[in-house]
């Protein structure tokens, strides 16, 4: 039986089977993100023992823990990037990956996100943006589109939403890309790049939460949300020539930046070496 499952679903070796079936609602985009991450690790032939996966709190944080079978850290809400930075400083040879939600990483954890990008810490962040706080019942998030309905904006959201990829690119990350769960192959390729590039890497994934977001916004079927993503996605190259008005309600997808910059952990270790050398402390 076990052999049959392994041959039918070879990527199951990356999952903690005792945690299955997942607690994600049927049709949740979190499953696609987990699948894309497992595919990227598999295609790059990375040994999961060389990866540490960190999540915060929220439905999307479950992708990191308990579902991915590696060393995982299930951390406090909003603090996944701070924990991941500590792991990377202590274990610089590991690939340190953060997988969590927009509320966790860009709302309560927003300062950590911006400053880890500014420092260009070599961690890889897969940010699942479903426009809402899914786990706690569908409250408004900083990513909720203008005009959308949530439990805390029952009439409509009157706040402008945060553009996470542009913010992180402006803050100084080495790599930033955005895709939706309807762009699975591109998403896998971007996760592979993020895992390979040295420096802070963000892959933002626009993802469907049919239960908390879709249901309140006339898209209760997951497929309707995927059609919404496809219909409104604009490649970043095309978006450059479009006005703000034309880009309203659109999802700009693709690579925002891919560049070399000084990386925090490398610079930190260089500095420690220099200081030890200066004070004659080498080898002590």
Q: In the structure encoding, which two tokens stand for residue 146, read together?
A: 């203008």
Is 99:37 a contact under the CB 8 Å cutoff?
yes
Among 51, 59, 173, 197, binds ligand TPP (CB under 6 A): 59
SS (H, E, C) 237-249: HHHCCCCHHHHCC
Is 200:120 a contact under the CB 8 Å cutoff?
yes
In the complex, minimum distance from the CB of residue 135 to ligand SF4, in angstroms, rounded to a whole number: 6
Is 128:60 a contact under the CB 8 Å cutoff?
yes
Distance CA 201, CA 99 (A): 12
Among 61, 64, 135, 182, binds ligand SF4 (CB under 6 A): 135
Is 195:45 a contact under the CB 8 Å cutoff?
no
Binding mask 98-127 for ligand TPP (x = CB under 6 A): --xxxxx-----------------------
Is 40:12 a contact under the CB 8 Å cutoff?
no
Distance CA 244, CA 140 (A): 23
Among 12, 19, 25, 234, binds ligand SF4 (CB under 6 A): 25
Q: Which does 24 bind (CB under 5 to 8 A by kind): ligand TPP, ligand SF4, none?
A: ligand SF4
In the complex, minimum distance from the CB of residue 33 to ligand SF4, in angstroms, rounded to a whole number: 10
Q: Which does 263 bind (CB under 5 to 8 A by kind): ligand TPP, ligand SF4, none?
A: none
Residue 150 interacts with ligand SF4 (CB under 6 A): yes or no: no
Among 14, 15, 28, 53, binds ligand SF4 (CB under 6 A): 28
In the complex, minimum distance from the CB of residue 44 to ligand TPP, in angstroms, rounded to a whole number: 26
Alpha carbons within 13 A on the beta-carbon side of 209: 26
Residues 6 or more apart in contact with residue 121 via CB below 8 angstroms: 84, 85, 88, 200, 263, 264, 265
Residue 27 interacts with ligand TPP (CB under 6 A): yes or no: no
Q: Which does 257 bind (CB under 5 to 8 A by kind): ligand TPP, ligand SF4, none?
A: none
Residue 30 interacts with ligand SF4 (CB under 6 A): yes or no: yes
Place of tokens 């930190």: 268
Q: Which residues sit at the interface with ligand TPP, rule CB under 6 A?
A: 57-60, 77, 100-104, 128, 130, 132-136, 141
Q: Which residues sit at the interface with ligand SF4, rule CB under 6 A?
A: 24-25, 28, 30, 59, 130, 134-135, 209-212
């Amino acid at each position: 039986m076990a052999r049959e499952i392994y041959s039918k679903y070879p990527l199951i070796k990356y999952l903690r089977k005792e945690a299955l079936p997942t607690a994600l609602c049927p049709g949740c985009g979190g499953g696609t993100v987990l699948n894309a991450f497992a595919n990227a690790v598999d295609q790059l032939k990375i040994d999961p023992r060389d990866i540490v996966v960190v999540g915060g709190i929220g439905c999307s944080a479950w992708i990191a823990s308990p579902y991915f079978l590696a060393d995982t850290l299930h951390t406090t809400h909003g603090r996944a990037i701070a924990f991941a930075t500590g792991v990377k400083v202590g274990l610089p040879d590991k690939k340190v990956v953060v997988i969590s939600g927009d509320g966790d990483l860009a709302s309560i954890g927003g300062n950590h996100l911006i400053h880890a990008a500014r420092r260009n810490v070599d961690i890889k962040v897969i940010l699942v943006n479903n426009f809402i706080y899914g786990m706690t019942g569908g409250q408004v998030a900083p990513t909720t589109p203008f005009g959308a309905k949530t439990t805390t904006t029952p009439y409509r959201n009157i706040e402008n939403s945060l553009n996470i990829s542009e913010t992180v690119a402006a803050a100084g990350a080495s790599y930033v890309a955005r895709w939706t769960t309807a762009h699975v192959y591109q998403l896998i390729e971007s996760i592979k790049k993020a895992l390979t590039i040295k420096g802070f890497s963000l892959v933002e994934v626009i993802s469907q939460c049919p239960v908390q977001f879709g249901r309140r916004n006339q898209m209760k079927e997951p497929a309707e949300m995927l059609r919404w993503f496809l219909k409104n996605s604009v490649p970043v190259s095309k978006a450059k020539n479009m006005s703000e008005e034309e880009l309203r309600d659109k999802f700009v997808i693709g690579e925002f930046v891919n560049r070399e910059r000084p990386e925090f952990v490398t610079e930190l270790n260089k500095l420690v070496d220099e200081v030890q050398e200066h004070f004659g402390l080498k080898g002590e």
